[in-house]
């Protein structure tokens, strides 16, 4: 399919999408907010949490949701891209996989973290298997980081795509955490291979 045909299809899809319209009405920067909201309502990931990291945060709808729901806590949002600041969140622009930024995250909290959420994804190449592998690597990197910085009762949530590395990531999650679930929110597009892994309580 030609590039301008793909973008026309994307624009038409956006216009028809109820979550896009709802996010505009409710003042959120992206329809992605409803995925985190569904995850939180079902798995209570933010319950009694005071320190949260949002990985791959731009344009910022997950961080908006976190800022609204975490009172008197610390929220840090990181993305490769700069985005409009959100009140009561600390923003870092950088590559999360770079040790320098991991150190900045650790220093900001100066102690264990309650929740790490990751919606990190690379720009899709059109090759679904490749996209799933690269996004899977980001998920594993985030999981490894959570092992280092998460509180024992902490929660880790990450986007992942159905594909060749899916089972391996879920198996790794089960080695590190006592509770592991995979969930596709209703607001995640049906034609997307996206799902989320929700992990609780480090082993």
- Whether 159 is catalytic is yes
Alpha-carbon distance of 54 to 83, in angstroms, equals: 13
Residue whose CB is less far from ligand SAM, 87 or 203: 87
- Phi/psi at 153 (5° precision): -95, 15
Closest contact distance (angstroms) between CB of 16 and ligand SAM is: 20
- What does the per-residue mask of binding to ligand SAM show for 120-159, with x meaning CB under 6 A? xxx---------------x---------------------
Number of Cα atoms under 13 Å in the Cβ half of residue 168: 9
User: Is 161 one of the binding residues for ligand SAM (CB under 6 A)?
Assistant: no
| Strand boundaries in 80-147, DSSP class E | 90-93, 113-118
Return all residues near 105 (Cβ < 8 A) that are at least 6 apart: 53, 76, 78, 92, 149
Q: Which residues of 121-133 are buried (b: 16+ CB within 10 A; e: fewer)?
A: beeeeeeeeebbb
Helix crossing, 99-109 with 128-149: angle to 10°?
40
Contact set for ligand SAM, span 14-43 (CB under 6 A): 29-30, 32-33
Catalytic residue among 159, 174, 178, 190: 159
Closest contact distance (angstroms) between CB of 164 and ligand SAM is: 20
- What does the per-residue mask of binding to ligand SAM show for 48-67, with x meaning CB under 6 A? --------xxxxxxx-----
Contact set for ligand SAM, span 66-125 (CB under 6 A): 78-81, 95-97, 119-122
Max CA-CA distance within the chain?
50
**CA angle, corner 126, sides to 55 and 137, nearest 5?**
35
The size of the interface with ligand SAM (CB under 6 A), counted in residues, is 23
Both tokens assigned to 109: 């909290």
Closest contact distance (angstroms) between CB of 61 and ligand SAM is: 3
Residue whose CB is less far from ligand SAM, 78 or 198: 78
Closest contact distance (angstroms) between CB of 43 and ligand SAM is: 17
Binding interface with ligand SAM (CB under 6 A): 29-30, 32-33, 56-62, 78-81, 95-97, 119-122, 138
Active site residues: 159
């Amino acid at each position: 399919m030609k590039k301008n045909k793909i973008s026309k299809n994307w624009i038409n899809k956006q216009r028809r999408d109820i979550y896009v319209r709802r996010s505009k009405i409710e003042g959120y920067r992206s329809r992605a907010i409803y995925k985190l909201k569904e995850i939180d309502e079902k798995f209570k990931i933010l319950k009694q949490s005071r320190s949260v990291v949002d990985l791959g945060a731009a344009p910022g709808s997950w961080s908006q949701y976190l800022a609204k729901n975490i009172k008197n806590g610390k929220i840090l949002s990181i993305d490769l891209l700069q985005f409009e600041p959100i009140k009561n969140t600390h923003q870092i622009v950088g590559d999360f996989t770079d040790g320098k930024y991991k150190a900045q995250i650790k220093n900001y909290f100066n102690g264990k973290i309650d929740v790490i959420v990751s919606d990190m994804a690379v720009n899709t190449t059109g090759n679904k298997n490749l996209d799933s592998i690269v996004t899977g690597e980001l998920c594993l990197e985030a999981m490894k980081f959570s092992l280092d910085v998460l509180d024992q009762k902490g929660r880790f949530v990450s986007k992942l795509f159905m594909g060749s590395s899916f089972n391996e990531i879920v198996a790794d999650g089960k080695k590190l955490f006592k509770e592991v679930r995979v969930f596709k929110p209703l607001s995640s597009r049906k034609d997307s291979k996206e799902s989320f892994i929700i992990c609780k309580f480090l082993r």
